[in-house]
A and B are shown apart, each in its own frame.
Chain A
């Protein structure tokens, strides 16, 4: 193996595995680095490759290590790790062309595994660069150690020519929906809202800049304090943690007196969770979903790819006016015996007032009693609600929602906790809203006799800025927040929004192009049946390849034949028909002499034609009319007129 080739292959392997390093176990990264440095050193010194047995021993040890680390050789993490170790080991047994080809194929496969982790525009461009390097090495493998420039040119040509064909295939190749086999659970794991809430769980999310979903409103957007994105609804309380509990589903959800309808498009990021987020109160979605009695919208399976849907909500509504007694009973359940002070407070309120009086007293309690809105809430004891309401008086939205719902239930008003997202950042460049994990929020819903479930956000009573502006406005200045949740300088914010707008387009048109979008797009193009779709794909590809072929062979196919030459060949054909074909080795002169002897009757015209042909084709440039005369002579030549 040529030294240059080994370095090329080494570079390819390094480039494709580099993005994996952040999620590889440390020992695998270290092992790979050693296994990469070793052949580089050997190649530089011109020493032979290590023995077969050593390589086998290393691979067995590495496989064992992976098995211990992941308890499996399959699945995303273990599989990728195994591939990476294999590719670095393969570098050490490069003996034949076949080994190099196998390594090149392995590199291409590792590129694909990178897409399991990220499909951003940057990743796409980086991988294109990797592919260019790989194909350069690939060409080098099948070429004499020619100049680098030629190799690069050939690789570039191949890649550039393949791009339009790829676009056609990407758009028209019939897409299949969903997974073919069960996705391993670890395929996509992202943080997001969960089906339980305990003190601090939303505070942790507030530290994440990750995008939860993006929303575009075709019409005017709602007011900011109406942007409540409904997620998991929590009913059961064990004194510390809120959970969903077991739904007693007697009535399906009902909405009545609905006004202020609003439609919008949501692009939900994969979070491996089942909730589909929509504005309070959701009415319908464009994709299949399940609607729970408490208006949670659930996807049939965990969301493992970016999902786009259209949703419709009513900003003003009456929800579940006829709630079942069993559900109301659930909404009053409290763990017995804890938080006596809170219970006493609620009982006081109950004693002297109606439901609405109780609610306003509770909000007033939060408002007046010097509560703080903060991410670092002090830890709470066994009577967590009492501690929070009477001692620490500092917390994040989950504390307030939890405390408020506890007070309501203790006062005999059915109440539940709703988690989701609130607000979002407007991106003027793309005209949409970005909702991040840091926008996660929790609020309360209470059930009133003639009002149904009513949303009440206790956080708004303490920190109205949280709802009206954003998180950083509501929190004290010294709070550690993710970069985008603070207020970065204007230019940086614009840059970041610009970039997000590009990513949004990329995500919705390239990454989000699935079988449904393809179907919609094909319908718009008028290619309703798959057969037409496949046919147009084939035609497009054949057409483009044909064009490339014409372009590439343009020097080889001379469509414009020389007129003189054509006439001479015609002359030869005429003579051949009269039994005097030109022999392969005969030039025009020798042929003319032979034919003249055989046909003395034609000697004059044959000699003239041959001489003119020789002069035109091989002599100095002739005046214009010489060629015309020659063509005429050939046309008039009649050998058969004996």
Chain B
């Protein structure tokens, strides 16, 4: 009962405010409360003070006051350890479901900071050097396809004496795209024309058709490294026969009963088709993608599979 109340209170007090861009930890964002050890120290100081009064120990008074003031100052140091820290969320590489998404956070600090802990479901502990942009990766396990939000992270520190817990909440509108988990292995669905059944020849791949300028997203094996080494711009080899092989990956072709199973199968097909250099199109009940090839095309296919059937609403918290 009490813990439920406490939870509700904390939910209301620290209700999420999703932010974009970079945030600076101003004093209104930083909360400080004594830790359990801090409270224990208060108790110790009271006992010490009683002893000092009883035995009239002047040096005892001095030690008691010294410890008390050190702990008060440690609050200032804890605050300083977070104050005016500039944080912005960086990009997150898409990963497959079941893998770990790595949320990148940029920290910019003018002073060295020690023992910061970034905590969500997992926690990361790090120091920050002065006057440099540091990248900290917060790992989150992706359990299902779609958008994975980092959720509300807590950045806290108990530096330097562990007597005060200073923390702030970071809730960026950043999210990771989680592709469906590809199923173990599955043969590609039969091609369009009946006579090409099982004999999708890839021999034509060697028919060199010319070079074109590199566009980001092109497959690395197709880059003309030799030409690049000769001092030409980065170029990509094009193959004529490739244009001939086309398959369309349809959700309805996947044999699995459930949607997630089908999507998992489709993901495997997309990856295999790309690896084999085929031209492949995507046919989902709500969208269609013309046949194509290359990393950019693959990523678009995977993105559609990842988001298929999901609303555009807020991403899933971890």
Contact = CB atoms under 8 A, between A and B. Distances in A.
Judge: A and B partners, yes or no: yes
Contact of B70 (A142, A146, A162, A176): A162
A61 interface: no
A183 B159 contact: no
Contacts of B77: 154, 158, 552
Given A115-B60, A131-B67, 15 more contacts: A97-B162, A108-B67, A112-B51, A112-B57, A116-B55, A135-B70, A138-B161, A142-B159, A158-B161, A161-B69, A161-B73, A162-B70, A176-B53, A187-B55, A556-B111
Given A154-B160, A552-B76, A98 B55 contact: no
A187 B159 CA distance: 39
A386 B153 CA distance: 96
B58 A510 contact: yes
Nearest to B111: A555
A232 B83 CA distance: 67
A163 B44 contact: no
Contacts of A163: 66
Contacts of B47: 109
B285 interface: no
Given A108-B63, A143-B159, A119 B57 contact: yes
Contacts of A347: none
Interface string A121-145: 0011001000100010011011110
B58 A513 contact: yes
A511 B58 contact: yes
Contacts of B41: 105
Contacts of A143: 114-115, 159-160
For chain B, give the interface size range: 35 or more
A161 B48 CA distance: 21
Contacts of B54: 179-181, 183
A170 to B, nearest CB: 6
A166 B55 CA distance: 19
Interface residues of A, number: 60
B17 to A, nearest CB: 15
Nearest to A76: B55
A165 B75 CA distance: 15
Residue from A138, A162, A173, A557 whose CB has the most chain B CB atoms within 10 Å:
A162
Nearest to B157: A142
A555 B65 contact: no
Contacts of A412: none
A545 interface: yes
B111 A180 contact: no
B201 interface: no
Contacts of A548: 73, 76
A115 B57 contact: yes
Interface of B: 20-21, 37, 40-41, 44, 47-48, 50-70, 72-74, 76-77, 80, 83-84, 110-111, 114-115, 125, 127, 158-162
Contacts of A552: 76-77, 80
A139 B58 contact: no
A159 interface: yes
Given A139-B160, A163-B66, A173-B65, A556 B21 contact: no
B80 A553 contact: yes
A553 B159 CA distance: 16
Contact of B48 (A109, A166, A549): A109
Contacts of A166: 62, 65-66, 69
Contacts of A614: none
Nearest to B21: A584
Contact of A131 (B40, B44, B63, B73): B63
A534 interface: no
Contact of B114 (A124, A144, A584): A144
Given A163-B66, A556-B111, A545 B76 contact: yes
Nearest to A305: B56
Contacts of B159: 142-143
A541 B69 CA distance: 9
B69 A165 contact: yes
20 contacts: A101-B40, A105-B41, A109-B47, A112-B51, A115-B57, A115-B63, A138-B160, A139-B160, A142-B160, A143-B160, A146-B127, A162-B70, A170-B65, A179-B54, A180-B50, A180-B54, A510-B58, A513-B58, A555-B111, A556-B83
Interface string A28-65: 00000000000000000000000000000000000000
A109 B55 contact: no
Contacts of A124: 59, 62
A105 B44 contact: yes
B40 A165 contact: no
A509 to B, nearest CB: 10
B102 to A, nearest CB: 22
B22 to A, nearest CB: 9
Contacts of A154: 77, 160
B20 A584 contact: yes
Majority SS at the chain A contact face:
helix
Contacts of B127: 144, 146
B55 A183 contact: yes
3 shortest interchain CB distances as A-B pairs: A556-B84, A162-B69, A165-B69
B76 A512 contact: no
A97 B64 CA distance: 23
Contacts of B80: 552-553, 556
Given A98-B37, A108-B67, A170 B62 contact: yes
A618 interface: no
A111 B68 CA distance: 15
Contacts of B53: 175-176, 179-180
A557 B84 CA distance: 8
Contacts of B60: 112, 115
Nearest to B47: A109
A205 to B, nearest CB: 26
A142 B115 contact: yes
B66 to A, nearest CB: 5
Given A116-B57, A144-B125, A179-B54, A127 B37 contact: no
Interface string A169-190: 1100101101111010001000
A108 B44 CA distance: 9
B21 to A, nearest CB: 5
A445 interface: no
Nearest to A102: B40
A585 interface: yes
A515 B34 CA distance: 32
Contacts of A119: 57-59
A514 interface: yes
B61 A111 contact: no
B172 to A, nearest CB: 13
Contacts of B160: 138-139, 142-143, 154, 158
Contacts of B44: 105, 108-109
Contacts of A141: 162
Contact of A170 (B61, B72, B125, B161): B61
Contacts of B59: 115, 119, 123-124, 127, 510-511
A103 to B, nearest CB: 12
Nearest to B44: A105
Nearest to B159: A142
Contacts of B158: 142
A142 B67 contact: no
A105 B40 contact: yes
Interface in A198-220: none
A142 B76 contact: no
A111 B78 CA distance: 26
